[in-house]
Structure 1
Amino acid sequence: MESLGGYPTKPSKRKEKVFTVLLSMTVGMGCLFILHTQLFKPTKQKDFYSFEVKDAKGRTVSLERYRGKASLVVNVASYSEHSEMNYRSLQELHRELGTSHFNVLAFPCGQFGETEPGSSPHIEAFAKSTYGITFPFFSKIKIMGSEADPAFKFLTDSVRKIPKWNFWKFLVNPEGNVVRFWRADEPIESVRQEASMLVREIILKRRGEEF
Protein backbone atom coordinates (compact mmCIF):
# COMPACT_ATOMS: atom_id res chain seq x y z
CA MET A 1 0.00 0.00 0.00
CA GLU A 2 1.22 3.47 -0.74
CA SER A 3 0.70 6.74 1.10
CA LEU A 4 -1.22 9.63 -0.44
CA GLY A 5 2.03 11.16 -1.62
CA GLY A 6 2.85 8.07 -3.63
CA TYR A 7 5.63 6.75 -1.34
CA PRO A 8 5.56 3.26 0.29
CA THR A 9 4.48 3.22 3.91
CA LYS A 10 7.34 2.10 6.23
CA PRO A 11 6.54 -0.40 9.01
CA SER A 12 6.20 1.23 12.38
CA LYS A 13 9.39 0.81 14.43
CA ARG A 14 7.26 0.88 17.55
CA LYS A 15 5.25 -2.13 16.38
CA GLU A 16 8.42 -4.01 15.50
CA LYS A 17 9.82 -3.34 18.96
CA VAL A 18 6.61 -4.53 20.66
CA PHE A 19 6.58 -7.70 18.54
CA THR A 20 10.24 -8.42 19.40
CA VAL A 21 9.57 -7.97 23.11
CA LEU A 22 6.52 -10.25 23.01
CA LEU A 23 8.44 -12.92 21.09
CA SER A 24 11.31 -12.77 23.58
CA MET A 25 8.90 -13.08 26.52
CA THR A 26 7.18 -16.06 24.91
CA VAL A 27 10.47 -17.85 24.28
CA GLY A 28 11.65 -17.01 27.79
CA MET A 29 8.47 -18.35 29.41
CA GLY A 30 8.76 -21.52 27.33
CA CYS A 31 12.33 -22.07 28.48
CA LEU A 32 11.37 -21.48 32.10
CA PHE A 33 8.52 -24.00 31.81
CA ILE A 34 10.83 -26.66 30.38
CA LEU A 35 13.43 -25.99 33.07
CA HIS A 36 10.80 -26.17 35.81
CA THR A 37 9.42 -29.49 34.60
CA GLN A 38 12.91 -30.98 34.49
CA LEU A 39 13.95 -29.72 37.91
CA PHE A 40 10.74 -30.53 39.69
CA LYS A 41 9.79 -33.67 37.80
CA PRO A 42 8.47 -36.21 40.34
CA THR A 43 10.93 -39.06 40.83
CA LYS A 44 9.95 -42.64 41.39
CA GLN A 45 10.29 -43.64 45.04
CA LYS A 46 13.09 -46.17 45.50
CA ASP A 47 12.47 -49.53 47.11
CA PHE A 48 14.77 -52.48 47.72
CA TYR A 49 13.85 -54.24 44.49
CA SER A 50 14.66 -51.19 42.39
CA PHE A 51 18.42 -51.60 43.01
CA GLU A 52 21.05 -53.52 41.11
CA VAL A 53 23.75 -55.51 42.91
CA LYS A 54 26.63 -57.84 42.04
CA ASP A 55 26.42 -61.59 42.49
CA ALA A 56 29.27 -63.64 43.94
CA LYS A 57 30.83 -63.90 40.47
CA GLY A 58 30.77 -60.13 39.94
CA ARG A 59 27.87 -60.06 37.50
CA THR A 60 25.25 -57.32 37.73
CA VAL A 61 21.91 -58.57 39.02
CA SER A 62 18.62 -56.64 39.20
CA LEU A 63 16.72 -57.23 42.42
CA GLU A 64 13.52 -56.80 40.39
CA ARG A 65 13.56 -60.57 39.97
CA TYR A 66 12.45 -60.85 43.62
CA ARG A 67 9.60 -58.34 43.43
CA GLY A 68 6.28 -59.87 44.42
CA LYS A 69 7.96 -62.17 46.95
CA ALA A 70 9.08 -61.87 50.55
CA SER A 71 12.83 -61.60 51.06
CA LEU A 72 14.94 -62.06 54.17
CA VAL A 73 18.11 -60.03 53.55
CA VAL A 74 21.07 -60.97 55.77
CA ASN A 75 24.63 -59.70 56.19
CA VAL A 76 26.49 -63.00 56.52
CA ALA A 77 29.99 -64.06 57.55
CA SER A 78 31.89 -67.35 57.40
CA TYR A 79 33.77 -67.28 60.71
CA SER A 80 31.44 -65.56 63.16
CA GLU A 81 30.36 -67.20 66.40
CA HIS A 82 26.85 -67.03 64.92
CA SER A 83 27.73 -68.59 61.56
CA GLU A 84 26.80 -72.23 62.02
CA MET A 85 23.54 -71.63 63.91
CA ASN A 86 22.40 -68.91 61.49
CA TYR A 87 23.42 -70.59 58.25
CA ARG A 88 21.64 -73.82 59.16
CA SER A 89 18.52 -71.99 60.37
CA LEU A 90 18.40 -69.75 57.30
CA GLN A 91 18.77 -72.70 54.94
CA GLU A 92 15.97 -74.53 56.73
CA LEU A 93 13.73 -71.46 56.46
CA HIS A 94 14.59 -70.99 52.78
CA ARG A 95 13.69 -74.61 52.04
CA GLU A 96 10.57 -74.57 54.23
CA LEU A 97 8.93 -71.48 52.72
CA GLY A 98 10.06 -72.19 49.16
CA THR A 99 11.34 -69.90 46.45
CA SER A 100 7.96 -69.34 44.82
CA HIS A 101 7.06 -66.83 47.52
CA PHE A 102 10.19 -66.36 49.64
CA ASN A 103 13.98 -66.12 49.44
CA VAL A 104 16.87 -65.65 51.82
CA LEU A 105 19.31 -63.19 50.20
CA ALA A 106 22.86 -63.31 51.60
CA PHE A 107 25.27 -60.36 51.46
CA PRO A 108 28.72 -61.16 52.89
CA CYS A 109 30.37 -58.31 54.81
CA GLY A 110 33.94 -58.08 56.08
CA GLN A 111 33.58 -55.02 58.32
CA PHE A 112 33.22 -56.92 61.58
CA GLY A 113 36.64 -58.09 62.69
CA GLU A 114 38.14 -61.02 60.79
CA THR A 115 34.86 -62.87 60.43
CA GLU A 116 34.71 -62.64 56.62
CA PRO A 117 38.22 -62.44 55.10
CA GLY A 118 37.64 -64.33 51.85
CA SER A 119 36.67 -63.28 48.34
CA SER A 120 33.07 -63.46 47.15
CA PRO A 121 33.43 -66.74 45.17
CA HIS A 122 35.29 -68.35 48.09
CA ILE A 123 32.63 -67.23 50.58
CA GLU A 124 29.82 -68.69 48.48
CA ALA A 125 31.70 -71.96 47.91
CA PHE A 126 32.46 -72.29 51.64
CA ALA A 127 28.82 -71.77 52.64
CA LYS A 128 27.59 -74.30 50.09
CA SER A 129 30.13 -76.99 50.96
CA THR A 130 29.97 -76.51 54.73
CA TYR A 131 26.29 -75.79 55.36
CA GLY A 132 24.58 -76.94 52.16
CA ILE A 133 23.37 -73.43 51.37
CA THR A 134 21.11 -73.08 48.31
CA PHE A 135 19.84 -69.51 48.72
CA PRO A 136 21.26 -66.66 46.58
CA PHE A 137 24.67 -65.24 47.48
CA PHE A 138 25.82 -61.80 46.42
CA SER A 139 29.14 -60.02 46.26
CA LYS A 140 30.97 -59.06 49.44
CA ILE A 141 29.91 -55.54 50.39
CA LYS A 142 30.32 -52.78 52.94
CA ILE A 143 27.27 -51.83 54.94
CA MET A 144 28.76 -49.00 57.02
CA GLY A 145 30.36 -45.71 56.08
CA SER A 146 30.52 -43.73 52.85
CA GLU A 147 31.12 -46.87 50.76
CA ALA A 148 28.03 -48.68 52.00
CA ASP A 149 26.24 -50.62 49.27
CA PRO A 150 23.18 -48.58 48.14
CA ALA A 151 20.75 -51.51 48.31
CA PHE A 152 21.79 -52.41 51.83
CA LYS A 153 21.87 -48.75 52.84
CA PHE A 154 18.23 -48.57 51.81
CA LEU A 155 17.51 -51.29 54.40
CA THR A 156 19.45 -49.64 57.22
CA ASP A 157 17.98 -46.21 56.42
CA SER A 158 14.50 -47.72 56.48
CA VAL A 159 14.88 -48.98 60.06
CA ARG A 160 17.31 -46.23 61.12
CA LYS A 161 19.68 -48.86 62.47
CA ILE A 162 23.10 -50.00 61.30
CA PRO A 163 24.09 -53.61 62.10
CA LYS A 164 26.53 -53.93 64.97
CA TRP A 165 27.61 -57.42 63.93
CA ASN A 166 26.97 -60.21 61.43
CA PHE A 167 23.64 -61.87 60.65
CA TRP A 168 21.23 -59.01 61.07
CA LYS A 169 18.05 -59.89 59.21
CA PHE A 170 15.73 -57.56 57.29
CA LEU A 171 12.32 -58.81 56.15
CA VAL A 172 11.27 -57.15 52.89
CA ASN A 173 7.70 -57.34 51.62
CA PRO A 174 6.62 -57.94 47.97
CA GLU A 175 6.66 -54.18 47.29
CA GLY A 176 10.29 -53.87 48.37
CA ASN A 177 9.80 -52.21 51.76
CA VAL A 178 11.27 -53.32 55.08
CA VAL A 179 8.61 -54.55 57.51
CA ARG A 180 10.85 -55.77 60.35
CA PHE A 181 14.45 -56.49 61.31
CA TRP A 182 16.22 -58.76 63.80
CA ARG A 183 19.65 -58.67 65.42
CA ALA A 184 21.96 -61.68 65.23
CA ASP A 185 21.13 -63.04 68.67
CA GLU A 186 17.35 -62.85 68.36
CA PRO A 187 15.55 -66.20 68.03
CA ILE A 188 15.04 -67.57 64.54
CA GLU A 189 11.55 -68.66 65.57
CA SER A 190 10.45 -65.02 65.60
CA VAL A 191 11.83 -64.61 62.08
CA ARG A 192 10.04 -67.78 60.95
CA GLN A 193 6.68 -66.59 62.33
CA GLU A 194 6.86 -63.17 60.66
CA ALA A 195 8.13 -64.54 57.35
CA SER A 196 5.49 -67.29 57.32
CA MET A 197 2.71 -64.75 57.92
CA LEU A 198 3.97 -62.61 55.06
CA VAL A 199 4.15 -65.62 52.75
CA ARG A 200 0.57 -66.59 53.65
CA GLU A 201 -0.58 -63.08 52.77
CA ILE A 202 1.13 -63.36 49.39
CA ILE A 203 -0.49 -66.75 48.67
CA LEU A 204 -3.97 -65.56 49.68
CA LYS A 205 -3.62 -62.41 47.58
CA ARG A 206 -2.57 -64.41 44.52
CA ARG A 207 -5.46 -66.83 44.97
CA GLY A 208 -7.86 -63.91 45.23
CA GLU A 209 -6.54 -62.44 42.00
CA GLU A 210 -7.18 -65.72 40.18
CA PHE A 211 -10.93 -65.54 40.81
Structure 2
Amino acid sequence: MGATSSIAGKSSVHDFTVKDSRGKDVDLSVYKGKVLLIVNVASKCGLTNSNYTQLTELYRKYRDKGFEILAFPCNQFLNQEPGPVEETVQFVCERFSAEYPIFAKVKVNGKDSEPLFEYLKANAGGFMGSAIKWNFTKFLISKKGKVIRRIGSRTEPSTIEADIQKALEEP
Protein backbone atom coordinates (compact mmCIF):
# COMPACT_ATOMS: atom_id res chain seq x y z
CA MET A 1 0.00 0.00 0.00
CA GLY A 2 1.70 3.15 -1.19
CA ALA A 3 1.26 6.67 0.05
CA THR A 4 -0.97 7.72 -2.82
CA SER A 5 -3.47 4.88 -2.46
CA SER A 6 -3.49 5.05 1.33
CA ILE A 7 -4.40 8.74 1.49
CA ALA A 8 -6.53 9.12 -1.63
CA GLY A 9 -9.89 10.58 -0.73
CA LYS A 10 -8.82 11.51 2.79
CA SER A 11 -9.37 15.16 3.64
CA SER A 12 -8.54 15.14 7.35
CA VAL A 13 -7.17 12.90 10.09
CA HIS A 14 -10.79 12.23 11.02
CA ASP A 15 -11.08 10.08 7.87
CA PHE A 16 -8.65 7.45 9.19
CA THR A 17 -9.09 4.34 11.30
CA VAL A 18 -6.09 3.11 13.32
CA LYS A 19 -5.48 0.25 15.74
CA ASP A 20 -5.32 0.84 19.49
CA SER A 21 -2.78 -0.92 21.70
CA ARG A 22 -5.11 -3.94 21.96
CA GLY A 23 -5.53 -4.24 18.20
CA LYS A 24 -9.05 -2.78 18.05
CA ASP A 25 -10.06 -0.29 15.38
CA VAL A 26 -10.35 3.36 16.42
CA ASP A 27 -12.15 5.69 14.04
CA LEU A 28 -10.36 9.01 14.43
CA SER A 29 -13.61 10.85 13.76
CA VAL A 30 -14.22 10.41 17.50
CA TYR A 31 -11.71 13.26 17.90
CA LYS A 32 -13.68 15.78 15.80
CA GLY A 33 -13.74 19.11 17.60
CA LYS A 34 -10.53 18.38 19.54
CA VAL A 35 -7.01 19.67 18.99
CA LEU A 36 -4.64 16.75 18.55
CA LEU A 37 -0.94 16.23 18.92
CA ILE A 38 0.03 13.07 17.03
CA VAL A 39 3.46 11.75 17.97
CA ASN A 40 5.64 8.79 16.98
CA VAL A 41 7.16 7.65 20.28
CA ALA A 42 9.93 5.38 21.53
CA SER A 43 10.85 4.18 25.03
CA LYS A 44 14.61 3.85 24.63
CA CYS A 45 15.45 7.13 22.92
CA GLY A 46 17.57 9.95 24.32
CA LEU A 47 14.51 12.18 23.88
CA THR A 48 12.16 9.88 25.82
CA ASN A 49 12.32 11.45 29.29
CA SER A 50 11.87 15.08 28.25
CA ASN A 51 9.20 14.35 25.65
CA TYR A 52 7.04 12.00 27.71
CA THR A 53 7.31 14.24 30.78
CA GLN A 54 6.25 17.32 28.84
CA LEU A 55 3.55 15.49 26.87
CA THR A 56 2.00 14.36 30.15
CA GLU A 57 2.17 17.92 31.53
CA LEU A 58 0.53 19.39 28.42
CA TYR A 59 -2.15 16.71 28.41
CA ARG A 60 -3.06 17.33 32.05
CA LYS A 61 -3.17 21.06 31.49
CA TYR A 62 -5.33 21.09 28.33
CA ARG A 63 -7.31 17.84 28.13
CA ASP A 64 -10.37 19.42 29.75
CA LYS A 65 -10.22 22.17 27.11
CA GLY A 66 -10.40 19.75 24.18
CA PHE A 67 -6.78 18.63 23.70
CA GLU A 68 -5.73 15.04 23.01
CA ILE A 69 -2.38 13.39 22.46
CA LEU A 70 -2.27 10.32 20.23
CA ALA A 71 0.97 8.38 20.75
CA PHE A 72 2.13 5.82 18.20
CA PRO A 73 5.09 3.63 19.19
CA CYS A 74 7.57 3.16 16.36
CA ASN A 75 10.66 0.96 16.19
CA GLN A 76 12.10 2.31 12.92
CA PHE A 77 14.85 4.40 14.47
CA LEU A 78 17.77 2.39 15.88
CA ASN A 79 15.51 -0.24 17.46
CA GLN A 80 14.41 2.13 20.24
CA GLU A 81 10.95 0.61 20.71
CA PRO A 82 11.81 -3.11 20.46
CA GLY A 83 9.26 -4.80 22.71
CA PRO A 84 5.57 -5.48 22.24
CA VAL A 85 3.17 -2.56 22.53
CA GLU A 86 1.97 -3.85 25.92
CA GLU A 87 5.45 -3.12 27.33
CA THR A 88 5.32 0.39 25.87
CA VAL A 89 1.93 1.08 27.44
CA GLN A 90 3.09 -0.21 30.82
CA PHE A 91 6.32 1.82 30.66
CA VAL A 92 4.61 5.07 29.67
CA CYS A 93 1.77 4.73 32.14
CA GLU A 94 3.94 3.72 35.10
CA ARG A 95 6.99 5.91 34.53
CA PHE A 96 5.33 9.01 33.08
CA SER A 97 1.75 8.66 34.36
CA ALA A 98 0.47 8.98 30.80
CA GLU A 99 -3.30 9.06 30.53
CA TYR A 100 -3.54 9.74 26.80
CA PRO A 101 -4.03 6.89 24.33
CA ILE A 102 -1.11 4.77 23.17
CA PHE A 103 -1.89 3.09 19.87
CA ALA A 104 -0.52 0.01 18.11
CA LYS A 105 3.08 0.03 16.96
CA VAL A 106 3.42 1.55 13.49
CA LYS A 107 5.92 2.26 10.77
CA VAL A 108 6.08 5.93 9.86
CA ASN A 109 8.29 5.62 6.77
CA GLY A 110 8.57 3.20 3.88
CA LYS A 111 6.17 1.08 1.88
CA ASP A 112 4.46 -0.36 4.97
CA SER A 113 4.01 2.93 6.78
CA GLU A 114 0.78 3.69 8.58
CA PRO A 115 -1.58 5.55 6.17
CA LEU A 116 -2.27 8.20 8.82
CA PHE A 117 1.42 9.10 8.86
CA GLU A 118 1.51 9.19 5.06
CA TYR A 119 -1.30 11.74 5.23
CA LEU A 120 0.48 13.75 7.93
CA LYS A 121 3.75 13.82 5.98
CA ALA A 122 1.96 14.75 2.74
CA ASN A 123 0.30 17.70 4.50
CA ALA A 124 3.31 18.95 6.46
CA GLY A 125 6.68 18.19 4.91
CA GLY A 126 9.79 18.32 7.03
CA PHE A 127 12.98 20.35 6.87
CA MET A 128 14.68 17.83 4.61
CA GLY A 129 11.72 16.33 2.78
CA SER A 130 8.66 14.51 3.99
CA ALA A 131 10.24 11.45 5.64
CA ILE A 132 10.14 11.37 9.41
CA LYS A 133 13.73 11.55 10.59
CA TRP A 134 13.48 10.41 14.22
CA ASN A 135 11.36 9.54 17.24
CA PHE A 136 9.05 12.16 18.73
CA THR A 137 8.16 13.97 15.54
CA LYS A 138 4.94 15.76 16.41
CA PHE A 139 2.00 16.90 14.29
CA LEU A 140 -0.39 19.52 15.67
CA ILE A 141 -3.89 19.00 14.29
CA SER A 142 -6.81 21.45 14.27
CA LYS A 143 -10.29 20.73 15.60
CA LYS A 144 -11.29 20.12 11.98
CA GLY A 145 -8.63 17.44 11.54
CA LYS A 146 -6.22 19.51 9.44
CA VAL A 147 -2.46 19.61 9.98
CA ILE A 148 -1.50 22.93 11.54
CA ARG A 149 2.21 22.22 11.68
CA ARG A 150 4.88 19.60 12.00
CA ILE A 151 7.25 19.82 14.96
CA GLY A 152 10.67 18.20 14.81
CA SER A 153 11.98 15.62 17.24
CA ARG A 154 14.35 17.98 18.99
CA THR A 155 11.67 20.59 19.65
CA GLU A 156 10.39 19.95 23.15
CA PRO A 157 6.62 19.73 23.53
CA SER A 158 6.50 22.57 26.08
CA THR A 159 7.73 25.03 23.43
CA ILE A 160 4.55 24.59 21.37
CA GLU A 161 2.17 25.40 24.20
CA ALA A 162 1.21 28.76 22.64
CA ASP A 163 0.35 26.97 19.38
CA ILE A 164 -1.85 24.52 21.30
CA GLN A 165 -3.61 27.38 23.08
CA LYS A 166 -4.20 29.19 19.79
CA ALA A 167 -5.61 26.03 18.17
CA LEU A 168 -7.93 25.49 21.14
CA GLU A 169 -9.31 29.03 20.70
CA GLU A 170 -10.24 28.40 17.06
CA PRO A 171 -13.91 27.66 16.35
Normalized against structure 2, the TM-score is what?
0.89
Q: How many residues align?
A: 160
* 1:109-156 per-position Cα deviation (integer Å, ceiling 9, x unaligned): 000012100111111111101111111110000011010000111101
1:184 aligns with 2:153: yes
Q: Residues 69 and 100 of structure 2 are in contact (CA less than 8 Å); yes or no, is this contact kept in structure 1?
A: yes
Unmatched 5+ residue regions in structure 1? 1-42, 206-211
- Aligned counterpart in structure 1 of residue 21 of structure 2, from 53, 56, 81: 56
Deviation at 1:63, TM superposition (A): 0.5
Q: Which has the higher contact order (CA 8 A, sep 6+)?
A: 2
Please give the secondary structure, in 2, of the residue aligned with 1:84: helix
Q: Residues 14 and 27 of structure 2 are in contact (CA less than 8 Å); yes or no, is this contact kept in structure 1?
A: yes
CA change 1:133–1:45 in 2 (3 A) is closer
- In the other structure, the counterpart of 2:78 is 113
Please give the secondary structure, in 1, of the residue aligned with 2:104: coil
Unmatched 5+ residue regions in structure 2? 1-7
Determine which structure has the larger helix proportion and give its number: 1
CA distance in 1, matches of 2:157, 2:48: 13
- In the other structure, the counterpart of 2:97 is 132
The amino acid across from 1:60 in the alignment is D
Please give the secondary structure, in 1, of the residue aligned with 2:59: helix
CA distance in 2, matches of 1:74, 1:127: 14
1:71 aligns with 2:24: no
Deviation at 1:84, TM superposition (A): 0.6
Please give the secondary structure, in 2, of the residue aligned with 1:74: strand
Runs of 4+ in 1 over 6 A off after TM superposition: none
